[in-house]
């Protein structure tokens, strides 16, 4: 009975979202100015939380800079303490140097105000994403609540799988299941996946070269595009690598990122983590990171630009895999990508360049 109730709730939520994210509702809300008010309130609330979090950090002896200086940086540049102290080392920089960087909150404001509801609906729901971009998806997948126990068992027994929340983010709630695991309780797993609305995907066999960095994770590329329905281009890119026993490569889950030169496809930075630490070699496999050339780079850019034009979202962060056959495969999409991965590794801000592209593609003047 409880499962029936859960399914009804999930279907109701999906129905409400389909209306809320429709083009018609988008236009109505925008014309009433509701989105701007909502975004402004989010900024106000976020700043209060960031200030409180920073205050705690400055009460510890390990903090850098001063609380007064941070408050000024927060007011003008909307930076978190992590951005101030670790990612961009604002405490060392002049005001002119600080103005080169775009903070997470600044970009979040843009996404809150200008991301079309249709794009949100596609990118927030992984099953809808897979259906929308099926041309660029080669792996098999099932959505547990829509799958019988018999079919679920067949799928799990046939493939090594990655299990993830249908609407999750930041690499949370993801784990692997292996087809030859003799101790696996499939019935228990099935009920868990149905209850938590899990998506179960065939594991992508990664390209041999990328797999070498960290065999336990997929090691995807984050490719950021700026687009409208008429044109698209790649703005920036980075390689994401897992670390230790992690099966995901997300930096927020402890992984490393390294910046890619979008003209050449070559990694141009050391590997870094969210604590601002740098790594010349991968800490597990000892492979040198800087100077590595990404395979099939031109095809990666072409694929992401095609997908971006298909939906017309202003800024999209694509998680891209190169599978063992050399195919470019879309893993996930993010309508609100952070820019720390394109600023922290080389300590070079992209504020002016991304604002210029937003104006060119969207006609929006960012400040």
Look up tokens 């925008």; give the residue: 30
Tell me the pLDDT tens digit for each residue of 153-203.
999 999 999 999 887 665 677 888 999 988 899 999 999 999 999 999 999
Q: Of the spans 23-37, 40-54, 59-73, 242-256, which averages the highest pLDDT?
A: 40-54
More confident residue, 9 or 70: 70
CA distance 353 to 21: 29
List the chain domain ranges.
2-32, 34-114, 117-135+207-362, 140-202
pLDDT of residue 88: 94
More confident residue, 254 or 348: 348
Band of residue 277 on the pLDDT scale cut at 50, 70, 90: confident
pTM (2 decimals)? 0.86
Q: Which superfamily is assigned to 140-202 in CATH?
A: ATP-grasp fold, A domain (3.30.1490.20)
Q: Give start and end residues of each alpha helix (H) in the chain.
A: 2-20, 23-32, 34-58, 67-77, 81-82, 95-98, 104-114, 117-124, 126-132, 149-158, 186-195, 208-211, 297-311, 351-362
Question: Which candidate, 253, 224, 260, places its Cα nearest to that of 239?
Answer: 260
pLDDT of residue 252: 72
3-class secondary structure, 328:
strand
| Secondary structure letter of residue 85 according to DSSP | I
In sequence order, what are the beta bridge partners of 234? 225
Judged against a pLDDT cut of 50, whether residue 148 lies above it is answered with yes
pLDDT of residue 19: 44
Tell me the pLDDT tens digit for each residue of 307-345.
999 998 999 999 999 999 999 999 999 999 999 989 988
3-class secondary structure, 308:
helix
The average pLDDT across 234-249 equals 89
Q: Which CATH class is domain 117-135+207-362?
A: alpha beta
Tell me the pLDDT tens digit for each residue of 94-146.
999 999 999 999 999 999 999 988 899 899 999 999 999 999 999 999 999 99
- The CB-side HSE value for 363 (13 A sphere, CA atoms) comes to 1
> What would the two tokens of residue 215 be?
């065999």
Judged against a pLDDT cut of 60, whether residue 250 lies above it is answered with yes
Band of residue 61 on the pLDDT scale cut at 50, 70, 90: confident
Write the CA distances from 303 to 166, 282, 329, 343, 357, integer angstroms: 24, 28, 9, 24, 20
Average pLDDT of the chain, as a whole number? 88
Fold: same for 117-135+207-362 and 140-202: no
pLDDT of residue 169: 65
């Amino acid at each position: 009975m409880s499962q029936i109730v859960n399914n009804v709730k999930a279907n109701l939520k999906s129905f409400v979202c389909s209306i809320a994210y429709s083009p018609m509702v988008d236009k109505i809300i925008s014309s009433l100015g509701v989105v701007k008010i909502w975004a402004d309130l989010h900024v106000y609330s976020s700043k209060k939380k960031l200030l409180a979090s920073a205050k705690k950090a400055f009460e510890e002896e390990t903090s850098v800079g001063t609380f007064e200086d941070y408050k000024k940086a927060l007011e003008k540049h909307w930076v978190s303490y992590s951005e101030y102290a670790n990612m961009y080392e604002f405490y060392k920089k002049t005001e002119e140097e600080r103005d080169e960087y775009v903070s997470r909150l600044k970009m979040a404001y843009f996404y809150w105000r200008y991301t079309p509801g249709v794009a949100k609906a596609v990118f927030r729901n992984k099953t809808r994403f897979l259906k929308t971009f099926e041309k660029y998806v080669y792996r098999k997948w099932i959505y547990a609540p829509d799958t019988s126990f018999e079919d679920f068992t067949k799928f799990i027994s046939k493939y090594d799988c990655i299990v993830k929340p249908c609407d999750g983010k930041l690499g949370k709630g993801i784990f692997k299941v292996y087809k030859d695991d003799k101790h696996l309780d499939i019935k228990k797993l099935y009920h868990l996946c149905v209850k938590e609305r899990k998506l179960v995907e065939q594991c992508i066999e990664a390209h041999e070269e990328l797999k070498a960095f960290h065999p336990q994770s997929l090691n995807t590329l984050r490719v950021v595009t700026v687009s409208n329905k008429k044109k698209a281009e790649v703005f920036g890119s980075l390689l994401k690598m897992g670390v230790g026993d992690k099966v995901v490569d997300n930096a927020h889950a402890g992984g490393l990122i390294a910046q890619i030169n979008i003209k050449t496809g070559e990694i141009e930075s050391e590997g870094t983590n969210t604590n601002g630490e740098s790594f010349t070699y991968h800490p597990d496999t000892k492979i040198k990171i800087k100077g590595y050339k990404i395979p099939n780079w031109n095809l990666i850019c072409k694929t992401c630009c095609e997908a971006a034009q298909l939906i017309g979202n202003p800024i999209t962060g694509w998680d891209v895999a190169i599978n063992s056959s050399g195919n470019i495969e879309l893993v996930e999409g993010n309508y609100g990508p952070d820019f720390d991965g394109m600023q922290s590794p080389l300590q070079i801000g992209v504020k002016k360049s991304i604002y210029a592209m937003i104006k060119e593609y969207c006609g929006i003047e960012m400040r």
